[in-house]
A = this chain, B = another copy of it.
Amino acid sequence: MLQVETVKQVREYVAKARAAGKRIGLVPTMGALHQGHLSLVKASKAQCACTVVSIFVNPTQFGPDEDLQAYPCTLDADRQACHDLGVDLLFVPTVQQMYPQPQLTWVNVDKLPDHLCGQSRPQHFRGVCTVVAKLFNIVQPDLAYFGQKDAQQLAILRRMAADLNLPVQIQACPIVREPNGLAMSSRNRYLSSQQRQQARCLNDALTHAQQLINAGQRDADTLIQAIRQIIDACPDAQVDYISLVDPELLQPMSVLDRDALIALAVKIGPARLIDNRLVRPPGTTDTAKQT
């Protein structure tokens, strides 16, 4: 595995791989890698002859009151994990390398960021779209891998890729969970062991909602209330939002008459956690692109 810091080095490496006829897979990350990230790496390894992992804690996607400074950094462990999985190229740029001059150009997706996390993180997705566009242009991957855990990010990046005709296929990978059901997240490190136990309520609540749906419940408010009840029972949990939305456009749905995304964000102690489930009410057919 080669580790590089500069755009030029990435371009040279990838150009050779492409000239050799290799399919290029990109796994963009902010480091602090966990099993969720590693599942993306494994997916890329299974489909691509050349797998590039980027580790870059992108300042432009953090709000002024967010955890940019505190964001976990475990570079040695990340490097070892990438090496062990057979990653070909590890791209660890500096902020100066990614933003050598004041960034004046931004990729904005309208409407989709008005929902879910976008409401409490106003410029977040502008930063995500812009840095991902940059990484796509630097690496020029054939496929790029993202976790279903960040469902809104995934929907927005898919729309960006379609709208801008980006020559890359966006691949979604399922949420990876800890044994108690807690979705893997770099921010789980912020939790005490007691909070980590409580944090299972997010997945428990989604599972309960899924059971209600399987039993015929289609009213969004009823489902959201049922989820809220379970989460409110955790002493340290504070709900940011619980929403049932269209999986592509992220608009709230009042009746579950087709595929939907149930998404939630909950603060538990120092960590803001998100989780979600794609649900399909029994008797309906596939209406959303879930590939």
Residue from B109, B134, B164, B167 in contact with A165 in the complex, judged by beta carbons closer than 8 Å: B134
A189 proximal to B (CB < 8 A) = no
Residue from B103, B104, B138, B163 in contact with A105 in the complex, judged by beta carbons closer than 8 Å: B163
With a cutoff of 8 Å between Cβ atoms, the chain B residues found around residue A58 in the complex are none
Residue from B11, B104, B137, B163 in contact with A104 in the complex, judged by beta carbons closer than 8 Å: B163
* Interface size counted on chain A using CB atoms at 8 A: 28
Contact mask for chain A residues 150-174; partner B; CB cutoff 8 A; 1 contact, 0 none: 0000000001101111110000000
Contact in complex: B103, A163 (CB < 8 Å): yes
Contact mask for chain A residues 105-126; partner B; CB cutoff 8 A; 1 contact, 0 none: 1111111100000000000000
Whole-angstrom distance between the alpha carbons of A163 and B159 in the complex?
A: 21
Residue from B106, B110, B133, B167 in contact with A140 in the complex, judged by beta carbons closer than 8 Å: B167
With a cutoff of 8 Å between Cβ atoms, the chain B residues found around residue A138 in the complex are 165, 167
Whole-angstrom distance between the alpha carbons of A103 and B109 in the complex?
A: 9
Whole-angstrom distance between the alpha carbons of A95 and B134 in the complex?
A: 27
Whole-angstrom distance between the alpha carbons of A137 and B165 in the complex?
A: 6
Chain B residue nearest to A7 (CB atoms) is B165
Whole-angstrom distance between the alpha carbons of A138 and B138 in the complex?
A: 16
A193 proximal to B (CB < 8 A) = no
With a cutoff of 8 Å between Cβ atoms, the chain B residues found around residue A162 in the complex are 101
Chain B residue nearest to A11 (CB atoms) is B167
Chain B residue nearest to A107 (CB atoms) is B107
Whole-angstrom distance between the alpha carbons of A104 and B11 in the complex?
A: 30
Residue from B105, B140, B164 in contact with A134 in the complex, judged by beta carbons closer than 8 Å: B164
Whole-angstrom distance between the alpha carbons of A140 and B133 in the complex?
A: 14
15 contacts between A and B (CB under 8 A): A7-B165, A11-B167, A103-B163, A104-B109, A104-B110, A104-B111, A105-B107, A105-B108, A105-B110, A105-B159, A106-B108, A107-B107, A107-B108, A130-B164, A140-B167
